[in-house]
């Protein structure tokens, strides 16, 4: 199934030839000679500093070859193969894409292996929804599946990990299902208890959070629909997981493997990850049928202002009755991460990881295989560079993760399994999930990587305008690329950053797309709407690949902690405005000053070292020591205790937000304390928030301390 025009033949660095043996022997003798005849006044000459002279030129040379070897043809071919059949995690069809990706890496001569995990997944068995009209007693079956897809191995629309259950009750409209929506309903005198809630996606809450909230308000079941420009794709239904947190629910905090420890299904640690009431997704058409039949108070104006259907006038409950049934099963399945490695020639024990998930709800052309095809193309082009003599300074790892859609399971289990190795050796993690959803470049990053992202986007052509780079496109509109921060728990960077403290980037073209998690997310959709000429795929491959080349090859890691300082200061200002002086943020402000001094100092040191031409014998070691400080500073933000009630999340700057629609997507511990203590008395409340402020301050100080590199 592989395309024969791109299979290079090359030797593996792992199989040393006779010549490399002689070379190493010669080096050894030279080094021995140097050591024995050390002359303190003369500059020792070893092989590494000489190579350093060529680094800049070499790197530029290979970057240019990398950029010019882009091919929309190979990208589209990979995507076509990956999307021929649906490939939901844990199903036989998904093994096809596993083997496709593995044989691609194998054919390029990369060291490739599968990392299998045994985890709990969830599938639907039966679902039905009937509406009963009280006026005439007649019942109608409401459609739950997507027209025309059920025969092709596409899974029925469902919510993974929803409990099985049934309900016979009146429907009530909950808007987005946020706390303020329930308050509005109470204001209208609407009693939601015992009803079946209908809500629309998009209020900034996860599926798990809205279902849990509905359960807390006494609803019997939840139906969710997605608005948007789905008119071209009538009947599309958005699947998704309703599990809380991430990773295998039966092996929380450790890697799930066959024969390893597993919690029991009825363990409270497991059951609290699943909602208490059942839920199902609906097409917007089906939702409209129900919502149009509602009587009772009028929909609040605030809700209807940004609602697409003008036909929804009242919130209910009733008068129709809904008969809701969902039956699902939770099953242990084996999932497969595919790993491919290019061993670093000078620092093989420093890792740069490029990751993307492979599993999809349906055909997955956008989500996630646009990213997979880009990953495969980067591997192809890196193999080409290797044939031309390139070998990266640091080790590059390609990760193709499984079961992301169920809750980032493949990547989380892998990170848990390799935690100490990653903590001590990973320089950065570069994630791409949906590489292309539409127009416009978007990125998320930890702030020390901002500058690198800007530099790289200056070198990659904007796929949607002529003769201009992605970076310049923003410049002409007087904007700069708006880099998001990685607080979301919505793709595979979560475990790397929020658990292991690895500096991370997440890239994508287009913000959202109408066929999200539906059976319409197919190769045809990509060809017709998403990226007809695959030029946006080419652009993402350029940015992702150049980021990787810099992080793998730059003698000094391209991290600027002054950006982190500026961002932390901005976060602190936002928090300060919110708290209106009730809590002292001085500990954080002082810690930021510390970090600023350390960041300025290390920037100077880095500059000096990169201009150092003296070829001193400790040069390699000095760079290594500096790089270690740059790499480990991010780990300083981790805290062994983790977030309150979410101990697995260790990062105190970026992590999951526990507050409805909060704009504060940083300092998750502080924001969590603010919401948790809302109804406590003043002293208790201030104490809890102040404690979290101190924890953030200490985290920033730890990072500063690592950057400084010395002991206190
Ligand atoms: C992982 O799964 C694949 C596919 O089932 C299998 O061929 C392989 O032997 C497994 N690897 C290990 C190490 O268990
Ligand atoms: C029963 O009433 C509903 C709503 O009033 C209507 O849509 C439906 O067609 C009626 N069914 C029959 C069989 O009359
Ligand atoms: C409503 O539909 C229009 C296009 O028909 C779309 O641009 C807009 O985002 C939709 N609004 C919502 C809230 O879904
Ligand atoms: C509700 O639906 C289920 C499943 O389709 C069916 O078995 C049951 O009889 C229905 N209940 C009522 C009251 O219509
Ligand atoms: C882009 O550059 C080419 C070659 O330099 C030139 O012929 C063309 O007119 C340029 N297009 C635009 C829109 O500037
Ligand atoms: C862009 O910013 C510059 C100065 O920052 C200003 O002079 C110019 O008018 C702005 N252009 C637009 C299109 O807003
Ligand atoms: C690649 O882009 C060229 C134009 O630059 C276009 O003619 C060709 O059809 C594209 N190939 C694919 C497979 O989309």
Report the distance separating Cα 624 and Cα 627, nearest Å: 5
The least confident of 119-133, 321-335, 662-676 is 662-676
pLDDT attached to residue 15: 41
Express as a percent the part of the chain with pLDDT over 70: 90
At residue 561 the predicted structure's pLDDT band, cuts being 50, 70 and 90, is: very high
Least distant ligand from the CA of 133: 2
**Active-site hit among 170, 212, 404, 413:** 404
Give the separation between CA 79 and CA 64, rounded to whole angstroms: 25
Q: Where are the alpha helices (DSSP H) in 458-584?
A: 470-476, 493-494, 523-525, 535-553, 561-579
User: Band of the pLDDT at 601, cuts 50, 70, 90?
Assistant: very high
pLDDT grade for 34, boundaries at 50, 70 and 90: very low
Burial state string for 112-139 with b = 16 or more CB within 10 A and e = fewer than 16 = bebbbbbbbbbbbeebebebeeeeeeee
Q: Measured on CA atoms in the order 153, 159, 161, 162, is the torsion positive or negative?
A: negative
Report the separation in Å between the CA atom of 342 and the middle of ligand 1, taken as the mean of its atom positions: 22
pTM score over 0.85:
yes
pLDDT tens digit sequence for 147-196: 877 668 899 999 999 999 999 999 999 999 999 999 999 999 999 999 99
Is the per-residue pLDDT at 49 higher than 70?
Answer: no
Per-residue pLDDT, 53: 43
Judging by beta carbons within 10 Å of its beta carbon (0-12, 13-18, 19+), is residue 25 exposed, middle or buried? exposed
Looking at residues 6-12, what average pLDDT do you find? 34
- The 10 Å Cβ neighbour count of residue 500 is 23
Q: Under a CB-based contact definition with an 8 Å cutoff, are residues 560 and 448 in contact?
A: yes
Residue nearest to atom 10 of ligand 4 (CA): 323
Query: What pLDDT score was predicted for residue 671?
Result: 95
Domain 120-331 of CATH type 3.50.30.30: yes
| pLDDT tens per residue, range 81-90 | 999 999 999 9
Ligand 5 midpoint to CA 466 (Å): 7
What is residue 56's predicted lDDT score, i.e. its pLDDT? 66
229: CB partners within 8 A, 6+ apart? 514
549 SS3 class: helix
466 CA closest ligand 5 atom index: 13
The mean per-residue pLDDT over the stretch 102-126 comes to 98
663 labelled catalytic: no
Sign of CA dihedral 363, 365, 498, 669: negative
Closest protein CA for atom 5 of ligand 4 = 128
Q: What residues does 394 pair with on adjacent strands?
A: 347
φ/ψ of residue 143, rounded to 5: -70, 135
Q: Which fold has domain 59-107+343-553?
A: Aminopeptidase (3.40.630)
Query: What's the pLDDT at 279?
Result: 98
Ligand nearest to the CA of 76: 7
| pLDDT, tens digit (0-9, with 9 covering 90-100), for 385-394 | 999 999 999 9
Cβ-proximal residues to 4 (8 Å cutoff; 6+ apart), any chain: none
Confidence of residue 16 (pLDDT cuts 50, 70, 90): very low
| Atom 6 of ligand 7, nearest CA residue | 533
Tokens of 662: 């909060």
Q: Smallest Cα–Cα separation from 460: which of 542, 558, 557?
A: 542
> For residue 310, what pLDDT is reported?
67
Q: What is the pLDDT of residue 39?
A: 40
Backbone φ, ψ for residue 298 (5° rounding):
-70, 150
pLDDT for residue 656: 93
- What is the structure's pLDDT at 233? 67
Residue-range domain boundaries for the chain: 2-38, 59-107+343-553, 120-331, 561-708
Name the percent of the chain lying above pLDDT 90: 79
416 touches 650 (CB < 8 A):
no
Q: Which residue has the higher pLDDT, 218 or 27?
A: 218
The pocket around ligand 2, CB under 6 angstroms, is made up of 133, 135-136, 138
Ligand 3: does its nearest atom lie under 6 Å from the Cβ of 305? no
Q: Dihedrals φ, ψ of 207, to 5°?
A: -60, -40
> What is 561-708's CATH number, 3.40.50.2000, 1.10.10.10, 3.30.365.10, 1.20.930.40?
1.20.930.40
CB of 467 sitting under 6 A from ligand 5: yes
Contact 607, 619 (CB under 8 A): no
pLDDT, residue 137, reads 82
- pLDDT bin (cut points 50, 70, 90) of residue 658 is confident
> Which residue's alpha carbon is at the smallest distance from atom 9 of ligand 1?
114
Helix and strand numbers, DSSP H then E, in the chain: 22, 16
Q: Is 643 helix (H, G, I), strand (E, B) or coil?
A: strand
Q: Any bridge partners for residue 282, and if so which?
A: 225
**Shortest CA distance to 344 belongs to which of 426, 414, 415?**
426
At residue 228 the predicted structure's pLDDT band, cuts being 50, 70 and 90, is low
Among 94-108, 111-125, 319-333, 600-614, whose mean pLDDT is lowest?
600-614
Residue 26 pLDDT: 46
Using only C-alpha atoms, the chain has a radius of gyration, in whole angstroms, of 27
Average pLDDT, the chain: 90
The DSSP letter of residue 29 is H
Convert the pLDDT of each residue in 508-560 to its tens digit.
999 888 899 999 999 999 999 999 999 999 999 999 999 999 999 999 999 99
CA quadruple 472, 474, 477, 478: dihedral sign: negative
Whole-number pLDDT of residue 135: 78
**3-state DSSP assignment of residue 159:** strand
Q: Is 185:266 a contact under the CB 8 Å cutoff? A: no
pLDDT in tens, 267-323: 999 999 999 999 999 998 899 999 999 999 999 999 988 787 667 789 989 899 999
- At residue 172, the 3 state secondary structure works out as strand
d(CA 286, CA 144): 8
């Amino acid at each position: 199934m592989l395309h024969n025009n791109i299979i290079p033949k090359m030797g593996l660095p792992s199989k040393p030839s006779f010549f490399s043996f002689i070379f190493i022997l010669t080096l050894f003798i030279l080094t021995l000679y140097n050591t024995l005849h050390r002359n303190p006044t003369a500059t020792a000459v070893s092989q590494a500093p000489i190579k350093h002279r060529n680094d800049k030129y070499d790197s530029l040379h290979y970057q240019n070859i990398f950029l010019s070897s882009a091919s929309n043809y190979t990208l589209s071919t990979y995507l076509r193969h990956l999307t021929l059949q649906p490939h939901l995690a844990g199903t036989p069809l998904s093994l096809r894409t596993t083997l496709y990706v593995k044989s691609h890496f194998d054919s390029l001569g990369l060291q490739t292996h599968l990392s299998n995990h045994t985890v709990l997944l969830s599938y639907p068995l039966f679902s039905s929804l009937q509406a009963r009209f009280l006026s005439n007693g007649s019942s109608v079956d409401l459609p739950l599946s997507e027209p025309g897809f059920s025969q092709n191995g596409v899974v029925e629309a469902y919510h993974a990990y929803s409990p099985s259950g049934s309900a016979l009750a009146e429907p009530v409209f909950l808007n987005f299902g946020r706390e303020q929506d329930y308050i509005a309903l109470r204001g209208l005198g609407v009693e939601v208890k015992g009803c079946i809630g209908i809500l629309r996606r998009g209020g900034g809450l996860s599926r798990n959070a809205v279902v849990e909230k509905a359960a807390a308000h006494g609803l019997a079941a939840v139906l969710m629909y997605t608005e948007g420009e789905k008119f071209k794709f009538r009947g599309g239904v958005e699947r998704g997981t309703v599990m809380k947190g991430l990773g295998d629910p039966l092996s929380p905090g450790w890697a799930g493997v066959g024969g390893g420890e597993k919690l029991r299904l009825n363990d409270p640690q497991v059951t609290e990850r699943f909602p208490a009431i059942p839920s199902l997704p609906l097409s917007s058409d089906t939702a409209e049928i129900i919502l149009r039949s509602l009587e009772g108070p009028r929909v609040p104006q605030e809700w209807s202002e940004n609602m697409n259907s003008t036909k929804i006038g009242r919130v209910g409950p009733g008068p129709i009755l809904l008969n809701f049934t969902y039956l699902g099963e939770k099953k242990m399945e084996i999932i497969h991460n595919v790993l491919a490695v290019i061993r670093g020639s000078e620092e093989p024990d420093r890792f740069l990881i490029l990751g993307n998930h492979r599993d999809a709800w349906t055909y997955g052309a956008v989500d996630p295989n646009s990213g997979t095809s880009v990953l495969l193309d980067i591997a192809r082009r890196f193999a080409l560079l290797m044939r031309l003599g390139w070998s990266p300074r640091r080790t590059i790892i390609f990760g193709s993760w499984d079961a992301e859609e169920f809750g980032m399971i493949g990547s989380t289990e892998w990170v848990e399994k390799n935690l100490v190795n990653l903590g001590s050796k990973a320089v950065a993690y570069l994630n791409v999930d949906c590489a292309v959803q539409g127009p416009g470049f978007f990125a998320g990053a930890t702030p020390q990587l901002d500058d690198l992202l800007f530099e790289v986007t200056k070198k990659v052509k904007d796929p949607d305008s002529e003769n201009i780079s992605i970076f310049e496109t923003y410049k002409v509109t007087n904007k700069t690329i708006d880099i998001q921060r990685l607080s979301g728990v919505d793709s595979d960077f979560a475990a790397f950053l929020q658990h292991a403290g690895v500096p991370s980037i997440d890239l994508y073209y287009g913000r959202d797309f109408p066929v999200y998690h539906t059976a319409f997310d197919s190769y045809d959709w990509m060809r017709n709407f998403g990226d007809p000429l695959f030029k946006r795929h080419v652009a993402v491959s350029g940015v992702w690949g150049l980021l990787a080349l810099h992080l793998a090859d730059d003698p000094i890691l391209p991290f600027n902690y002054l950006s982190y300082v500026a961002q932390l200061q901005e976060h602190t200002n936002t928090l300060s405005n919110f708290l209106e002086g009730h809590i002292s943020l001085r500990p954080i402000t002082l810690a930021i000053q510390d970090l600023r001094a350390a960041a300025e100092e290390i920037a100077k040191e880095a500059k000096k070292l990169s201009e150092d031409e003296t070829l001193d014998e400790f040069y390699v070691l000095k760079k290594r020591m500096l790089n270690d400080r740059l790499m480990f500073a991010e780990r300083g933000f981790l805290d062994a205790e983790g977030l309150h009630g979410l101990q697995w999340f260790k990062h105190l700057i970026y992590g999951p937000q526990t507050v409805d629609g909060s704009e504060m997507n940083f300092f998750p511990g502080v924001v969590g304390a603010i919401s948790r203590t809302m109804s406590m008395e003043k002293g208790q409340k201030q104490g809890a928030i102040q404690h979290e402020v101190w924890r953030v301050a200490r985290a920033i100080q730890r990072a500063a301390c690592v950057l400084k590199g010395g002991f206190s």
